[in-house]
A and B are shown apart, each in its own frame.
Chain A
Amino acid sequence: MKNRPMTMHNPHHPEVDAVTHQLTTPDRGILAKMAAAGLAVAAVAAGATVALAAVEPAAEPSAGHSEVISHPGTEPSETEWPDMPIVDAIKEMMGIDDQDEWSCPPCGLG
């Protein structure tokens, strides 16, 4: 972790030039993993056969995990039935096993 005072320049907001900030920078290893996360998914999307382990540790979840995770505190931009891992999380927490109970309710949606 590095905290260092620095002057920020923003061309859209010159009024804040010369404002002193305390910057917080996570370790390079974390940043490298963040950058690699996007590269790994892009590689999968492109059908590449690269060894993903070379760019990301094995602990990184599969591309499938990353497909759709939305925040239920917000409103979805589309009305389609969402693939929502948080619902799976809640279901798991509640000990609900019956998949039918979590399929689309009887309304014609989905």
Chain B
Amino acid sequence: MIRFGLSLMPEPGFATAAEPLFSEGIVSAVEWSFDMGWGSDPTPAWLDELLDFYCEQGWLLGHGVSYSLLGAAGRHEAWLDRLREEVERRRYRWITEHIGFVGAGRFSFSAPLPMPVADDVIQLGTARLGSLAAAAGVPVGVENLATCLSIRDAHDQGRLVSELLTAVDGIALLDLHNLWCQSVNTGVAVQDLLDAFPLDRVREIHVAGGRPDVGAHSGRTLRRDTHDALVPDEVVYLLTSIAPRCPNLEVVIYERLGTSLDSTEAQDLYRQDVSRLAAVVAALPATAPSPLTTPQTVDLSPIEIPAQLQRTQAELLEGFYTGVDAPTLQQRLDRDDYPLDPDLTAVATELTRTWGRLRA
């Protein structure tokens, strides 16, 4: 049986919307972005108890947001210290992170941004994933991004996921809305994007909704991963067609921002959509996943930060933030493996201006 679950959100709107779904018993796993709960504000009591409940069942999944797996700069050790405390409190079935970097240069945080398949990126990402595995003590993995900056970027992501996971025998988290976003935004068929993706490593799938957008330069249709709408039929189709190709698939998680569930109508539609997806998942062919493995040996030698990568990431965030156009920013990057599409660069600018935070 492939399980179906929800990404937990702390907002009351989510609690109201999701409570009947839990009551009906169709939520057999939950995912929690645990670093959302590391602030001084306490998590709601119901959320803590749900986490404990699913932890006891062995179906609590951890999903980090701010580790910066491919980040050259950052407070990775502090983050890992918090993770050690987190996993001491609750045991997660596995822990995943986004395959990108957040923060660089004068920015301590940003939306996750992609990196190319390159020796320095693979070397750094492998080391960071190893550190994550050692701190977590449970299987770890990575999720494909929605954001891409070029066709090459989207095309190479599957290979990058594969390269990074090999070293830790890790888990691939395949986000189908992210995949569809990349396909729409680059014009590359989903099938081609999946060519190098390690489907045999996929144990978890994400489904979510988003919004259409218009390219700032070309006027072409873009897709944004906003998590504030119903799951589109295209993603349901991808689920039914791709899941059977994932022999180790264990669970499908439905993601929705709690802030978007602030009306009775939105909550009703959410419940209907979740029920629809739960039924679709229930109809998927059963899988026989291989046993989960936690890497026994992880190379924890000091991580060497590639200087060029550090400069590239800082230059990118600075360029996006200040609205530098794609050709100019391309010239500033001293590497030729990071092409920039003008429309997607404009999207990255919007994301960086929204989520970027300055370093102290």
Q: Taking beta carbons and an 8 Å cutoff, which residues of A are in contact with B?
A: 1-2, 4, 6, 8, 10, 12-13, 15-16, 19, 21-27, 29-31, 33-41, 56-57, 59-61, 65-66, 68-77, 79, 81-82, 84-94, 96-98, 101-102, 105, 107, 109
Residue numbers in B under 8 Å from A87 (CB-CB) = 109, 357
Q: Complex Cα distance A69/B43, Å? A: 11
Q: Which of B44, B276, B356 contacts A37 (CB 8 A)?
A: B44
Residue numbers in A under 8 Å from B43 (CB-CB) = 61
Whether the pair A12, B276 counts as a contact (CB closer than 8 A) is yes
- Of B23-31, B152-160, B190-198, B336-344, the segment with at least 4 beta carbons within 8 Å of chain A is B23-31
The chain A residue with its CB closest to the CB of B359 is A101
Residue numbers in B under 8 Å from A12 (CB-CB) = 276, 279
Q: Complex Cα distance A92/B66, Å? A: 13
What distance in Å separates the Cβ of B70 from its nearest Cβ neighbour in chain A?
14
Q: Which of B22, B33, B39, B255 contacts A88 (CB 8 A)?
A: B39
**Given A38-B12, A74-B257; A1-B56 close (CB under 8 Å):** yes
Besides A37-B44, A71-B257, A90-B38, 10 other A-B contacts (C-beta < 8 A): A19-B283, A21-B282, A26-B54, A37-B16, A61-B43, A72-B112, A75-B146, A79-B354, A94-B108, A105-B358
Whether the pair A68, B259 counts as a contact (CB closer than 8 A) is yes
Whether the pair A57, B45 counts as a contact (CB closer than 8 A) is yes
Residue numbers in B under 8 Å from A10 (CB-CB) = 275-276, 279
Q: Complex Cα distance A31/B28, Å? A: 15
Q: Complex Cα distance A26/B46, Å? A: 11
Whether the pair A22, B36 counts as a contact (CB closer than 8 A) is no
Whether the pair A74, B39 counts as a contact (CB closer than 8 A) is no
Whether the pair A73, B11 counts as a contact (CB closer than 8 A) is no
Whether the pair B19, A86 counts as a contact (CB closer than 8 A) is no
Residue numbers in B under 8 Å from A34 (CB-CB) = 15-16, 18-19, 22, 46, 50
What distance in Å separates the Cβ of B49 from its nearest Cβ neighbour in chain A?
5
Q: Which of A22, A37, A76 contacts B354 (CB 8 A)?
A: A76
Whether the pair A23, B228 counts as a contact (CB closer than 8 A) is no
**Given A21-B282, A24-B28, A82-B354; A94-B78 close (CB under 8 Å):** yes
Whether the pair A86, B36 counts as a contact (CB closer than 8 A) is yes
- Of B125-133, B219-227, B291-299, B305-313, the segment with at least 4 beta carbons within 8 Å of chain A is B219-227
Q: Complex Cα distance A21/B351, Å? A: 40
Whether the pair B358, A88 counts as a contact (CB closer than 8 A) is no
Q: Complex Cα distance A97/B203, Å? A: 40
In the A-B complex, the 5 residue pairs with the smallest Cβ-Cβ separation, listed nearest first, are A23-B25, A38-B16, A89-B39, A33-B46, A10-B279
14 pairs of residues in contact across A and B, judged by CB atoms under 8 Å = A2-B25, A8-B279, A26-B50, A34-B50, A65-B41, A69-B258, A74-B227, A75-B351, A77-B226, A77-B260, A79-B354, A85-B39, A86-B66, A93-B79
Q: Complex Cα distance A101/B108, Å? A: 11
Q: Which of B15, B36, B50, B357 contacts A85 (CB 8 A)?
A: B36
B355 interface residue per 8 A CB criterion:
yes
Q: Complex Cα distance A27/B50, Å? A: 9
Whether the pair B33, A41 counts as a contact (CB closer than 8 A) is no
Whether the pair B321, A105 counts as a contact (CB closer than 8 A) is yes
The chain A residue with its CB closest to the CB of B42 is A61
